[in-house]
C-alpha cells in the first residue's frame, strides 16, 4: 500500500509570468499531492538543467511542455508502483532514467516536481505536517533574510548588487522577526517616497530605486533601521552580490554593467572588506564569481572569521562542489535551492553535509516563484537556521512567511 498510482503535470505560470511546472501525484490510497517548481534568473553555470521547449512560437521559447510530457510519460513509468515513503528510491530511479550528469535529458524541473510531490504525499499519508515528515530532529524556525532592495538582474535600476537584505538576528521568535521586517519595509518605503524615489518593487518584492551606489543603498538601510528603532544587535545587513553576473572570465575582472568599475579579484576582495568595515554587514553572498576560486579563497581568508560568506552560484546545492569548497577553505555557508540540483534527496544530502562540516545553511527561493511553500517546511525540518525568500511583499514570497508563522504556532 501507499504506492505511486499516477503522476500528472501542468504548465503553469511563475511570479514573473514565465511558464513552469505543477506536478500532481496520486497514491493507490487516493492521497493527492501537488508541488510546483521555481525558476531562477541569475543561475549558476553548474545548476541542473531546467528543460525548456525552445519553441519560439510559445512563451518566447520558454515553454515547458516537453518537461510536462516527461513527467506524464517516462518519469511516471519509472516511479509507478514505488512506495511513497521511499524518497531515495524514487529520486534514484529518476536520476538513473535521466542518465545525464545535469538532468538535461528529462529536465531537473520535471524530476524535482515529482520528487517534491512525493514527499508531500508521504506526509499527507502519515497525516503529519510536511516539516515533521522531512525532519528527524526537533523542528527549528529559521531567521529570515528579508530582501528589501532589489538590483542586478532582478530590477531595471542602477544598482549592481542584486539583493540588499535585513537580518533580524536579535528577534526572540520568527513572528517577531517578521513583524520587525514588515515595519522596516514600511519605513524604507516612506524614506524612498520622501526622496522622490520609485517605490515599485523588483522580482523578489524589494524596492527597486535608482540609488547612486551600493553605499547609498546601505546608508539608506542604516537610516531605516535607526528610524525603526532597532539596534545593531537586533538587525543587521546582508548583501547578495551575485558577482558571477558581472565577472569577465577571460579578463578575470569584475566589470560593472550598470555602474562604471573594473576590479581584479584582489580589488574585489578589498572592496568587500571595505564594505564590511563601513557597514554592519554580517553576511555576503556570491561576493566573488563562481569561476573565481582564487578570489573566493582570498575572501574567505580575509573575511571568513568575521562574517558569513554564502556560496550560491558557487556551490549550486551540489554536495560534490561543496566538498571541494570545504577542502579548499572557500566560503563558510551555503545557499540551498532544491531546483539547482533537482531532487529532494540530493538537497537533503547537501544540507546535512554542510551541517556536518560546520557550514551554515540558508534555504532559498528563486526569483521566479510560485505559491508553493515547500521550502518553509524544508527550512524548519532541516534546522537550517536561516531562510531567504524575498521581501515582505508579493504573495509568492509571503506564502512562505505565512507558512512559517503557522508552523511556529503549531510547534509552540
Of 129 and 202, nearer to ligand PGA (C-beta) is 202
* Residues forming beta bridges with residue 237, ordered by sequence position: 166, 281
41 makes contact with ligand PGA (CB under 6 A): yes
Of 43 and 283, nearer to ligand PGA (C-beta) is 43
Which residues are within 8 A (CB) of 119 and not within 5 positions of it... i.e. 6 or more apart? 87, 130, 133, 134, 344
147 makes contact with ligand PGA (CB under 6 A): no
Q: Which of 95, 242, 314, 387 binds ligand PGA (CB under 6 A)?
A: 242
Q: Which of 53, 91, 203, 312 binds Zn ion (CB under 5 A)?
A: 312
Closest distance to ligand PGA from the beta carbon of 104 (Å): 18
Q: Which of 22, 43, 317, 343 binds ligand PGA (CB under 6 A)?
A: 43
Of 242 and 281, nearer to ligand PGA (C-beta) is 242
27 makes contact with ligand PGA (CB under 6 A): no
Residues in 293-322 that interact with ligand PGA by CB under 6 A: 312
240 makes contact with ligand PGA (CB under 6 A): yes
224: partner contacted, choices ligand PGA, Zn ion, none (Cβ within 5-8 A by kind): none
Active site residues: 204, 337
Show the binding pattern over residues 150-189: x = contacts ligand PGA (CB under 6 A), - = does not. ------------x---------------------------
Evaluate whether 146 touches 164 at the Cβ level (below 8 Å).
no
Closest distance to ligand PGA from the beta carbon of 42 (Å): 4
Taking the CB of residue 407, how many other CB atoms lie within 10 A of it?
23
Residues in 361-380 that interact with ligand PGA by CB under 6 A: 364, 366-367
Of 4 and 242, nearer to ligand PGA (C-beta) is 242
The three state secondary structure string of the chain is CCEEEEEEEEEEECCCCCEEEEEEEEECCCCEEEEECCECCCCCCCCCCCCCCCCCCCHHHCCCHHHHHHHHHHHHHHHCCCECCCHHHHHHHHHHHHCCCCCCCCCHHHHHHHHHHHHHHHHHHHCCCHHHHHCCCCCCCCEEEEEEEECHHHCCCCCCCCEEEEECCCCCCHHHHHHHHHHHHHHHHHHHHHCCCCCCECCCCCECCCCCCHHHHHHHHHHHHHHHCCCCCCCEEEEECCHHHHEECCCCEEECCCCCCEECHHHHHHHHHHHHHHCCEEEEECCCCCCCHHHHHHHHHHHCCCCEEEECCCCCCCHHHHHHHHHCCCCCEEEECHHHHCCHHHHHHHHHHHHHCCCEEEEECCCECCCCCHHHHHHHHCCCEEEECCCCCCHHHHHHHHHHHHHHHHHC
Of 35 and 241, nearer to Zn ion (C-beta) is 241
42 makes contact with ligand PGA (CB under 6 A): yes
Stretch that binds ligand PGA, among 35-43, 86-94, 114-122, 219-227 (CB under 6 A): 35-43
Closest distance to ligand PGA from the beta carbon of 388 (Å): 7
203 makes contact with Zn ion (CB under 5 A): no
Closest distance to ligand PGA from the beta carbon of 275 (Å): 18
245 makes contact with Zn ion (CB under 5 A): no
Of 24 and 214, nearer to ligand PGA (C-beta) is 214
| Residue 189: φ, ψ to 5° | -60, -45
Stretch that binds ligand PGA, among 40-48, 289-297, 299-307, 353-361 (CB under 6 A): 40-48
* Binding region for Zn ion (CB under 5 A): 240, 285, 312
Residues near ligand PGA, by CB under 6 A: 40-43, 162, 240, 242, 312, 364, 366-367
Amino acid at each position: 500500500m501507499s504506492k505511486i498510482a499516477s503522476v500528472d503535470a501542468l504548465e503553469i505560470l511563475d511570479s514573473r509570468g514565465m511558464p513552469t511546472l505543477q506536478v500532481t501525484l496520486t497514491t493507490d490510497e487516493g492521497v493527492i499531492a501537488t508541488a510546483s517548481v521555481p525558476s531562477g534568473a541569475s543561475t549558476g553555470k553548474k545548476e541542473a538543467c531546467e528543460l525548456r521547449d525552445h519553441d519560439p512560437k510559445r512563451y518566447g521559447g520558454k515553454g515547458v511542455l516537453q518537461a510536462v510530457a516527461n513527467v506524464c510519460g517516462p518519469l511516471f513509468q519509472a516511479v509507478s508502483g514505488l512506495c511513497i515513503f521511499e524518497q531515495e528510491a524514487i529520486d534514484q530511479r529518476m536520476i538513473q532514467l535521466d542518465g545525464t550528469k545535469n538532468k538535461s535529458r528529462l529536465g531537473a524541473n520535471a524530476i524535482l516536481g515529482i520528487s517534491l510531490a512525493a514527499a508531500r504525499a508521504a506526509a499527507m499519508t502519515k497525516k503529519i505536517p510536511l516539516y515533521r515528515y522531512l525532519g528527524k530532529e526537533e523542528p527549528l524556525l529559521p531567521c529570515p533574510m528579508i530582501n528589501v532592495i532589489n538590483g542586478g538582474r532582478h530590477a531595471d535600476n542602477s544598482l549592481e548588487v542584486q539583493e540588499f537584505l535585513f537580518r533580524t538576528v536579535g528577534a526572540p521568535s520568527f513572528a517577531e522577526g517578521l513583524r520587525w521586517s514588515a515595519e522596516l519595509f514600511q519605513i524604507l518605503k516612506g524614506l524612498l517616497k520622501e526622496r522622490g524615489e520609485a517605490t515599485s518593487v523588483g522580482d523578489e518584492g524589494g524596492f527597486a530605486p535608482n540609488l547612486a551606489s551600493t553605499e547609498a543603498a546601505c546608508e539608506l538601510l542604516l537610516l531605516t533601521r535607526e528610524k525603526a528603532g532597532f539596534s545593531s544587535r537586533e538587525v543587521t545587513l546582508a548583501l547578495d552580490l551575485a558577482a558571477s553576473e558581472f565577472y569577465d572570465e577571460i579578463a578575470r575582472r569584475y566589470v560593472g554593467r550598470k555602474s562604471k568599475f573594473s576590479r581584479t579579484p584582489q580589488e574585489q576582495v578589498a572592496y568587500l572588506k571595505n564594505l564590511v568595515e563601513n557597514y554592519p554587514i554580517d553576511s555576503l553572498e556570491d561576493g566573488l564569481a563562481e569561476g573565481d576560486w582564487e578570489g573566493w579563497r582570498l575572501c574567505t581568508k580575509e573575511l571568513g572569521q568575521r562574517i558569513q560568506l554564502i556560496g550560491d552560484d558557487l556551490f549550486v546545492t551540489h554536495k560534490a562542489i561543496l566538498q571541494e569548497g570545504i577542502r579548499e577553505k572557500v566560503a563558510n555557508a551555503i545557499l540551498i535551492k532544491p531546483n539547482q540540483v533537482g531532487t529532494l534527496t540530493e538537497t537533503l544530502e547537501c544540507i546535512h553535509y554542510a551541517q556536518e562540516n560546520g557550514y551554515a545553511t540558508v534555504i532559498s527561493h528563486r526569483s521566479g516563484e510560485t505559491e508553493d511553500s515547500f521550502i518553509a517546511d524544508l527550512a524548519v525540518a532541516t534546522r537550517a537556521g536561516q531562510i531567504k525568500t524575498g521581501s515582505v511583499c508579493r504573495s509568492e514570497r509571503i506564502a512562505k512567511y505565512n507558512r512559517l508563522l503557522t508552523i511556529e504556532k503549531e510547534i509552540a
